[in-house]
A and B are shown apart, each in its own frame.
Chain A
Amino acid sequence: MPKQQANWSPYDNNGGTCVAIAGADYCVIAADTRMSTGYSILTRDYSKIIQLADKSVMASSGFQADVRALQKVLAARHLLYQHQHNKQMSCPAMAQLLSNTLYFKRFFPYYSFNVLGGLDSEGKCKGKGCVFTYDAVGSYERVGYSAQGSGATLITPFLDNQLKSPSPLLLPAKDAVTPLSEIEAIDLVKTCFASATERDIYTGDKVEMLVLNASGIRQEFMELRKD
């Protein structure tokens, strides 16, 4: 009997794009709301963003079943942390938790491409925006902005052009957060999605934006092309 190839895959790609930008005292996290499979659209109204803690928000594209499982694991771990330490997890701590959670499935990965955004709450960085970007198995780094998902290749060069910040590895160190104001950053994000929608079939319908700053968190929607 000839060797049979696997004809069922545990993975699927539901498409979508996520973007996050860190500012001096704010953080913008955005994701489109289209969920697709193959050439079909499953729904136009699906949120890829979740608020994990007071000051941490995660947006993920890829396989939404894995994303949902990952969100549940992180939410449960955060609850445990709150019970044990009587405080909310900081964004950098959540970032490392996400990295470890992803790596513990190193041999059966979460097909989830994440960006974590929030406000730093330690020491002299208190209140500064922070964005962490991940690959699917948990390698991560703190950056000033990031895009993940099907539209990432379209958006990243544009953000590089508009926001290119000095590398955090340079010595003497230069600040990585963007000098843009909150309004300008939100405008930039809207532009990114509008352009990505034009060229990427998996991005469109609506973009959901969450903005974290000192006064709290607010949500905004913008309509995108539905074709």
Chain B
Amino acid sequence: MMKIDFSGLDPSLPVKGNAEDLDDEILAAPSFKLPVTVDFDGFQKAAVQMVKPAKGTTTLAFIFKHGVMVAADSRASMGGYICKALLILNLYKINLYLAASQSVKKIIEINPYMLGTMAGGAADCQFWHRNLGIKCRLHELANKRRISVAGASKLLANILYSYRGMGLSVGTMIAGYDESGAGLYYVDSEGGRLKGTRFSVGSGSPYAYGVLDSGYSFDLSVEDAAELARRAIYHATFRDGASGGVASVYHVGPGGWKKLSGDDVGEMHYSYYPIEPTTVEQEMADVRIA
């Protein structure tokens, strides 16, 4: 019985062709060398423990009358083993949870009218968003029109689905403005893709949802929506240890995206909740004068 050959449709197989031909290299899904091992899952678990991709975050995005508002914190935390744990002798494990960086760019500019947010593995998100940007540009050149947000998010979702189960960690939102208006999709490394009007992703997302959901209205002005987004991120960074740094807020409108603000959350705390001099200090000051 002849079996139908579906290999041409498989996106994870490298396109057969001249190795020097750069076009093939760009158009094909990147092909990754895999380790030769009996226990692939165990190896990946150990490798992920070793490299412990930077995680822990709060990102949010919502659609409103004037487009899409996107906001994120900037902390990357990294837990990991310092010394290799697969050796039988001398297992000297140090588990580290330190803030690897306070200034990670979690809002990635795919092109001038589309943004992607990063949650999960920093390298995974950076690489696949860059790859998505390339694909979107190629689509523009091939079709003489910009790609829709639905199309871009579908491209990303399909790629992530083909790597499902291999340990990628990506929780991203694709926000943009195209011919059908504002678009917002949530895409993750399990292969899920959801269209929606309000999303928050990351370890701080429950806190951000609380503030976002209670203050949300479709008819917000741009300034009010920006303040809502900023406030939601601030509250998430306050309560979630893995979120912090700088709260960035972007607005995506018909003319493309624009960065509205980037504020240090520590300073934001004191501007929202200024310190009042206590009554005890006041009394002591009075006594001294008398």
Residues of A within 8 A of B (CB): 6-7, 9-13, 38, 99-100, 102-109, 111, 133, 135-141, 143, 150, 153, 167-171
Contacts and interface: CB of A to CB of B under 8 A. Distances in A.
Contact of A169 (B96, B105, B124): B105
A150 B76 CA distance: 19
Contact of B34 (A11, A107, A138, A171): A107
Contact of B245 (A138, A150, A167): A167
Contact of A138 (B43, B83, B126, B263): B126
Interface in B74-123: 74, 76, 78, 82-84, 86-88, 90, 96, 98, 100-105, 121-123
Nearest to A133: B101
B103 A167 contact: yes
Contacts of B288: none
A103 B30 CA distance: 10
A7 B84 CA distance: 12
Contacts of B104: 139, 141
B15 interface: no
B51 to A, nearest CB: 4
28 contacts: A9-B86, A9-B87, A11-B86, A13-B83, A99-B123, A99-B126, A104-B32, A105-B32, A107-B35, A107-B44, A107-B167, A108-B35, A111-B50, A111-B51, A111-B84, A135-B78, A135-B100, A136-B51, A137-B123, A138-B123, A138-B126, A139-B76, A139-B123, A141-B103, A143-B101, A167-B102, A170-B262, A171-B260
Given A6-B37, A171-B260, 8 more contacts: A6-B39, A11-B86, A38-B90, A106-B123, A135-B78, A139-B53, A153-B98, A169-B262
B33 A141 contact: no
B163 to A, nearest CB: 9
B236 interface: no
Max chain B CB contacts within 10 Å: which of A11, A103, A106, A141?
Answer: A106
A170 B246 contact: yes
Categorize the interface residue count of chain B.
35 or more
Contacts of B84: 9, 11-13, 111
Nearest 7 A-B pairs (CB), nearest first?
A139-B122, A139-B123, A171-B262, A9-B86, A137-B123, A136-B51, A108-B35
B261 interface: yes
A135 B54 contact: yes
A135 B53 contact: yes
A138 B86 CA distance: 23
B129 to A, nearest CB: 11
B32 A106 contact: yes
A137 B166 contact: no
Interface of B: 30, 32-35, 37, 39, 42-44, 47, 50-51, 53-54, 74, 76, 78, 82-84, 86-88, 90, 96, 98, 100-105, 121-127, 166-168, 245-246, 248, 259-264
A42 to B, nearest CB: 15
Nearest to A8: B86
Contacts of B33: 104-105, 107-108
A143 to B, nearest CB: 7
Contacts of B248: 169, 171
A135 B123 contact: yes
Nearest to B247: A169
A137 B51 contact: yes
Contacts of A106: 32, 123-124, 127, 168
Contacts of A13: 82-84
Contacts of A9: 84, 86-87
Max chain B CB contacts within 10 Å: which of A136, A167, A171?
Answer: A167
Contacts of A140: 126
Nearest to A170: B262
Contacts of A133: 101
A137 B53 contact: yes
A135 B262 contact: no
A136 B46 CA distance: 14
Contacts of B124: 106, 137
B121 A141 contact: no
B47 A141 contact: no
A170 B249 CA distance: 10
A225 B44 CA distance: 38
B248 to A, nearest CB: 5
Given A6-B86, A11-B86, A167-B264, A109 B50 contact: yes
